[in-house]
Amino acid sequence: MKSTARTRRLALILPAVAAATATVAAQAPSAASTGAEQGKAAINVSANTLARGNVAPAGEDDFEKSVLTTGLADPFEILFAPDGNLWATERTAGRVTVVDPDTGDKRTVLTIPEVVHTPGEQDGLLGMAIDSGGKGKGRAQGSWDVYLSYTYDGDPGAALDRRQRIARYTYDASSQQLTSPRTLIEGLLASDDHNSGRLKIGRDNTIYYSIGDRGNNQDLNACRLIESQRLPTAAEVRNQDWTAYQGKTLRLNRDGSIPGSNPRLDGVRSHVWTFGHRNHQGLVFDDDGRLYSAEMGPKSDDELNLLTAGGNYGWPRIAGYQDDSAYVYGNGSARASGCDPADYDAFVIPDDVPQQAESSFHDPRLVPPVRTFYTVPPDFDFQGERCAPSGLFFICYPTIAPASVDFYGERAIPGWDESLLLPTLKRGTLFRMPVASPTLVDGPLPLFRSQNRYRDTAISPDGGTIHVATDSGGLVEGLDGLPTSELANPGAILSFRHTG
């Protein structure tokens, strides 16, 4: 990977990883097992087989937990800025908040009045990326650019027309405020669900941004067509009509223009970098510049993907692997008798709804996932007994709901080098996934389980502390295994410091 010695060491552990992966595959989850139990099956294999350079990886007992700060309004993105502080976007308050990583003290550096947030929904102030430009070597020194994504109302009238905007602000250390906003792109279709909304800056100085499928074809959005497979036309790009950008990863220049090196898809160059996504709330570059995404699946098959230019990641024709296992695409928007969201059924596709099996889909640009969480048999019972009394079946689905993804390089925690970290919403768990090669990822190994919804992570500059942001509300699988809305640490940042 990063050196000849590193490559040799990876070569030595690959047989062990392959053996572990094969064993995990052999222990495919049964129809009676829960998502948590499926995770444990993989965990028991991986924890005993994978050690980096003969170093036993640090486990949960090697960390000290503390609550860094509370009172945040649904922190969505947390990351370290050049001033050494932890910065957070507060999704439902439209605020950017700076948190002292030593004391937990907070101060607001920006409030965006035009941010639209609908109570109980998934719109608001979302992703953030910081570009220091080589400035700001210590606390309260220098200035830097901050990129933000947020939902706003695109209709000047009474109707709500949710749109997404990406804007650049400049941080002025003297005033300790974000100022001078400049819009890069706006008018992106947004929703009350599946906005994704992660921002990352690549080594190539371009901006990568994830847009979900807007929750189309399910629940109250059941009659809206999923556009993840549709690609923009040349006329749409000329007219700045971004309708086809749903379910995509975008790549933008710093001024919002289209990079000349973006792929031509069906003969058209646009902001689209990859397509065929459902809700990829996680984006991260590894130390070698590869871009990974974590994506939420429907009832099974959450995905970890390695993104490549022009790649098609299958949704909605494919969920997880192309295996015809427990998923068929039913296009409710094309129902012969007419579509009504009130008729939506998460478990039964009516006969007059067009249906397509995964095996019927063909595209040479199709890229399979690196891992799924979890692939289950075609006869899997998604209405298991455990969640039946509450009717909150989605809590018991064989998924983990990955809300983000981070990369831990060669840092301070023993045995963690070259690992992906996935915070999950449904079971308040941080999963560590050792990366043996770009497409061979082990685990998941569970850590820091609590009765919370884990939304994002940030790794301290010294690599010794993992910070985890929690939602202010929502449903989670409780420590007793049942659905609950009682969260242990709502709207907080938790810190897990390696003590050795």
With bands split at pLDDT 50, 70 and 90, how would you rate the model's confidence at 32?
very low
With bands split at pLDDT 50, 70 and 90, how would you rate the model's confidence at 430?
very high
User: What predicted TM-score, i.e. pTM, was given to this entire model?
Assistant: 0.89
How far is the CA of 28 from the CAs of 42, 55, 273, 435, 455, in angstroms?
9, 29, 33, 21, 27
| Two structure tokens written together for 398 | 């064989």
pLDDT at 271: 98
Examine the pLDDT at 15 and tell me if it is beyond 70. no
pLDDT at 30: 35
Q: Is residue 362 among the annotated active site residues? A: no
pLDDT digits (tens, 9 = 90+) for 231-285: 999 999 999 999 999 999 999 999 999 999 999 999 999 999 999 999 999 999 9
Examine the pLDDT at 121 and tell me if it is beyond 90. no
Return d(Cα 191, Cα 214) in angstroms, integer: 5
pLDDT at 471: 98
| Two structure tokens written together for 425 | 């919403």
Structure letter (DSSP) for residue 240? T
pLDDT at 467: 98
Q: Annotate 396-416 with b (16+ C-beta within 10 A) or e (fewer).
A: bbbbbbbbbbbbbeebbbbbb
Helix (H, G, I), strand (E, B) or coil at 447: strand
Examine the pLDDT at 103 and tell me if it is beyond 90. yes
Return d(Cα 199, Cα 212) in angstroms, integer: 13
Structure letter (DSSP) for residue 52? B
Q: Of the spans 29-33, 138-142, 162-166, which averages the highest pLDDT?
A: 162-166
Average pLDDT, the chain: 88
**Listed residue (195, 175, 211, 17) closest to 91, CA to CA:** 195
Q: Which amino acid is at 266?
A: D
- Yes or no: say if 473 and 490 are a contact pair by the CB < 8 Å rule: yes
Question: pLDDT exceeding 70 applies to what percent of the chain?
Answer: 87
pLDDT digits (tens, 9 = 90+) for 360-381: 999 999 999 999 999 999 999 9
Helix (H, G, I), strand (E, B) or coil at 88: strand
How far is the CA of 130 from the CAs of 91, 126, 218, 339, 488, in angstroms?
17, 14, 34, 43, 30
Examine the pLDDT at 322 and tell me if it is beyond 60. yes
- Yes or no: say if 366 and 261 are a contact pair by the CB < 8 Å rule: no
Q: What is the 3-state secondary structure (H, E, C) of 382-437?
A: CCCHHHCCCCCHHHHCCCCCECCCEEECCCCCCCCCCEEEEEECCCCCEEEEEEEE
31-46 average pLDDT score: 38
pLDDT digits (tens, 9 = 90+) for 184-242: 999 999 999 999 999 999 999 999 999 999 999 999 999 999 999 999 999 999 999 99
Return d(Cα 406, Cα 421) in angstroms, integer: 5
> For the purposes of burial, counting CB atoms within 10 Å of the CB of 43, is it exposed (0-12), middle (13-18) or buried (19 or more)?
middle
Q: What domains sit in the chain, N to C, each tagged with a CATH number?
A: 69-377 (2.120.10.30)
Q: What is the DSSP string of 322-375?
A: SS-SS-EEE-GGG-TT---GGG--SS---TTS-EEEGGG---TTB---SEEE--
Instruction: For tokens 């005993």, name the residue.
Output: 48
Enumerate the H helices of 27-138 as residue ranges. Answer: 35-49
| Two structure tokens written together for 458 | 């940030």
Question: CA Rg, the chain, in Å?
Answer: 22
CB-facing half-sphere around the CA of 134: CA atoms within 13 A: 1
pLDDT at 500: 81
Q: Among 117, 194, 271, 280, which one carries the catalytic annotation? A: 194
- Yes or no: say if 164 and 195 are a contact pair by the CB < 8 Å rule: yes
With bands split at pLDDT 50, 70 and 90, how would you rate the model's confidence at 23?
very low
pLDDT digits (tens, 9 = 90+) for 285-315: 999 999 999 999 999 999 999 999 999 999 9
pLDDT at 52: 52
| Two structure tokens written together for 365 | 């640009």
pLDDT at 411: 84
How far is the CA of 303 from the CAs of 166, 275, 375, 377, 454, in angstroms?
26, 14, 10, 17, 17
